[in-house]
Structure 1
Amino acid sequence: MSLKTLQEIVAETKSSLHCLTPQAARELLSENSDALVLDVREPGEVAEKRPAGTINIPRGVLEMKITEHTTDPDRNILLHCATGGRAALAAAALTHMGFHNVSIIDCNCDELITHLGTGH
């Protein structure tokens, strides 16, 4: 049995999750003001550019920090990162924890900033 590559793991994970375009994410946010948009990149990446309205919780500490922001399993949670890989893995982890309305914003950070604006 050969090992899976990160790209294979991410693709497999994304196929079982809800993915949104940046436009669909903006529409969901306009209709649902209490939705969380989590940026799972590292703090140094976020310091360079940050989409408006996002909360930074690095992927490595997500499971430990998410309950500081919500314990509602039905709250809409949208995840993004630089390219989608960490967001997919983060979405799978939150789903495994019991959150039901988890989506990935499937785009790069620059594209998301184009649709949401900048947080700086």
Structure 2
Amino acid sequence: MLKKVAELITEAKQTIHCVTAQEAAEKCRLMQGVLIDVRESSEVAQQATKGAIAIPRGVLEMKMLALYPDAEQAIFVHCASGVRACLAAEQLVRIGYKNVWAISCKIDAICTAMD
């Protein structure tokens, strides 16, 4: 049976932690976390997020293991709307990261909170 994106997100949210942009900003600072932007390069070029490391969703799993080999690293994932962030966070948990949060709001709120 094929699943719609909304169904995938509902399932993902059962296994991941979701936070608002403000909560993410506070937790990221306190936990010395990393902020990962999983949008495409063209999206990041239009509106970058201060302090974020751009790793497109399509290569996330491969790049994260090389950049952040510590399974305990606090990781905060965002995109433009929260959809890709949820799917990305779910994948990071599946490969073994223990402290992953998806920022589940729009990019404007994320940019404001991270300033």
- Same structural fold, with TM-score higher than 0.5 when normalized by the shorter chain: yes
State the match for 1:50 in structure 2: 48
Matched, 1:84 2:69: no
TM-score normalised per structure 1:
0.90
State the match for 2:62 in structure 1: 64
**Is the Cα contact below 8 Å between 2:36 and 2:53 reproduced in 1?**
yes
Calculate the aligned-residue CA RMSD, in Å: 1.1
**Is the Cα contact below 8 Å between 2:89 and 2:100 reproduced in 1?**
yes
Paired AA for residue 8 in structure 2: I
Q: Paired residues, what number? A: 115
Shift of 1:75: 0.5
- CA displacement 1:7-49 (0-9 Å, x = unmatched): 111122123210111111111122122x110000000000000
Gaps in structure 1 of 5+ consecutive residues: none
Moved over 2 A (4+): none
Map 1:1-120 onto structure 2 (within 5 A). 2-33=1-32, 35-117=33-115
- CA displacement 1:33-72 (0-9 Å, x = unmatched): 2x11000000000000011100000000011111232100
Percentage identity across paired residues of the two chains = 42
Gaps in structure 2 of 5+ consecutive residues: none
SS at structure 2 position matched to 1:60: helix
SS at structure 1 position matched to 2:105: coil
Report the Cα distance in structure 2 between the residues aligned to 1:63 and 1:26, rounded to whole angstroms.
23
Shift of 1:99: 0.5
